[in-house]
Structure 1
Amino acid sequence: MITENNIPIDIINITEQMDISKLSKLELLEKCKELGITKSGSKNKLQLIELIGKNKVIEEIPRNTPITPITPITDADTKTFNVIDLFCGCGGMSKGLTDAGLNVIAGIDIWDKAVESYNKNYHHKAYCADLTELPPEKFNELYNMEGKEVDILVGGPPCQSFSIAGKRDKNDPRNALFIEYVKYLDYFKPKAFIMENVIGLLSKKTANGENVIDIIMEQLNQNYNCIINKLYASDFEVPQNRRRTIIIGIRKDLHILPKEPEPIIKSVQDRIAVKSILIPKEDVDKKYYLSEKALAGIENKKGVNKEKGYGFGAQMLDFDKPSYTIPARYWKDGYDALVKYNEKEIRRLTITELKRIQSFPDNYIIEGSNKDIIMQIGNAVACKFAYYLGKYIIDTLTPLTLLTP
Structure 2
Amino acid sequence: MLYRFIDLFAGIGGMRLAFELYGICVFSSEWDVKAQETYMANFGEKPHGDIRQIDAKDIPDHDILLAGFPCQPFSIAGVSKKKSLGRPHGFLDETQGTLFFDIARILQGKQPQAFLLENVKNLKSHDKGRTYKVIKNVLENDLGYTVYDAILNAKGLVPQNRERIYIVGFKKPLKFEFPKIPEQGPPLRSILEENVDDKYTLSDKLWEYLQAYKEKHAKKGNGFGYGLANLDSYSRTLSARYYKDGSEILIPQEGKNPRKLTPRECARLQGFPDSFKIVVSNTAAYKQFGNSVAVPVVKLIAEKMIQAIERDETIEDNLEEGRAEYATK
Which TM-score band applies after superposition, normalised by the shorter structure?
0.7 to 0.9
Deviation string, structure 1 residues 129-152 (Cα, Å, up to 9, x no partner)? 11111021123xxxx4xxxx4111
CA gap of 1:226–1:95, structure 2 versus 1, over 3 A, is: same
Partner of 1:219: 138
Partner of 1:186: 108
Deviation string, structure 1 residues 85-112 (Cα, Å, up to 9, x no partner)? 10001111111111x3232222111112
Which of 166, 174, 180 matches 1:246? 166
Offset at residue 366 of structure 1 (A):
3.1
Partner of 1:284: 196
Q: Normalized against structure 1, the TM-score is what?
A: 0.69
Taking the aligned partners of 2:200 and 2:78, their CA distance within structure 1 comes to 43
Partner of 2:153: 232
Deviation string, structure 1 residues 204-237 (Cα, Å, up to 9, x no partner)? 11xxx661100111101121111110001123x2
Contact 2:39 2:47 in 1 (8 A): no
Q: Which runs of 5+ in 1 are unaligned?
A: 1-78
Using the aligned pairs only, state the percent identity: 32
Taking the aligned partners of 1:216 and 1:137, their CA distance within structure 2 comes to 23
Taking the aligned partners of 2:174 and 2:32, their CA distance within structure 1 comes to 36
Q: Does 1:353 align with 2:265?
A: yes
Contact 1:295 1:344 in 2 (8 A): no
Offset at residue 336 of structure 1 (A):
1.3
Paired AA for residue 191 in structure 1 = Q
Deviation string, structure 1 residues 28-52 (Cα, Å, up to 9, x no partner)? xxxxxxxxxxxxxxxxxxxxxxxxx
Offset at residue 165 of structure 1 (A):
9.1
Partner of 1:91: 13
Offset at residue 160 of structure 1 (A):
2.2
Taking the aligned partners of 1:165 and 1:130, their CA distance within structure 2 comes to 27
Offset at residue 173 of structure 1 (A):
9.5
Contact 2:151 2:165 in 1 (8 A): yes
In structure 2, the residue corresponding to 1:211 is in which secondary structure?
helix
Q: Does 1:390 align with 2:302?
A: yes
Counting only pairs closer than 5 Å after superposition, residues 333-352 of structure 1 correspond to structure 2 as: 333-342=245-254, 344-352=256-264
Contact 2:95 2:101 in 1 (8 A): no
CA gap of 1:241–1:314, structure 2 versus 1, over 3 A, is: same
Taking the aligned partners of 2:110 and 2:158, their CA distance within structure 1 comes to 32
Between the two proteins, the alignment pairs up a number of residues equal to: 301
Which of 7, 19, 25 matches 1:104? 25
Offset at residue 373 of structure 1 (A):
1.3
CA gap of 1:226–1:173, structure 2 versus 1, over 3 A, is: closer
Contact 1:81 1:151 in 2 (8 A): yes
CA gap of 1:165–1:369, structure 2 versus 1, over 3 A, is: farther
Offset at residue 174 of structure 1 (A):
7.6
Which of 309, 325, 329 matches 2:221? 309
Give 1 or 2 for the bigger CA radius of gyration.
Answer: 1
Taking the aligned partners of 1:183 and 1:197, their CA distance within structure 2 comes to 18
Which of 273, 278, 293 matches 2:187? 273
CA gap of 1:398–1:377, structure 2 versus 1, over 3 A, is: same
Q: Normalized against structure 2, the TM-score is what?
A: 0.85
In structure 1, the residue corresponding to 2:115 is in which secondary structure?
strand
Q: Which runs of 5+ in 2 are unaligned?
A: 80-88, 314-329
Offset at residue 157 of structure 1 (A):
2.0
In structure 2, the residue corresponding to 1:363 is in which secondary structure?
coil
Taking the aligned partners of 1:314 and 1:163, their CA distance within structure 2 comes to 34
CA gap of 1:171–1:365, structure 2 versus 1, over 3 A, is: farther
In structure 1, the residue corresponding to 2:308 is in which secondary structure?
helix
CA gap of 1:308–1:342, structure 2 versus 1, over 3 A, is: farther
Q: CA RMSD in A?
A: 2.4
Offset at residue 296 of structure 1 (A):
1.2
Partner of 2:41: 120
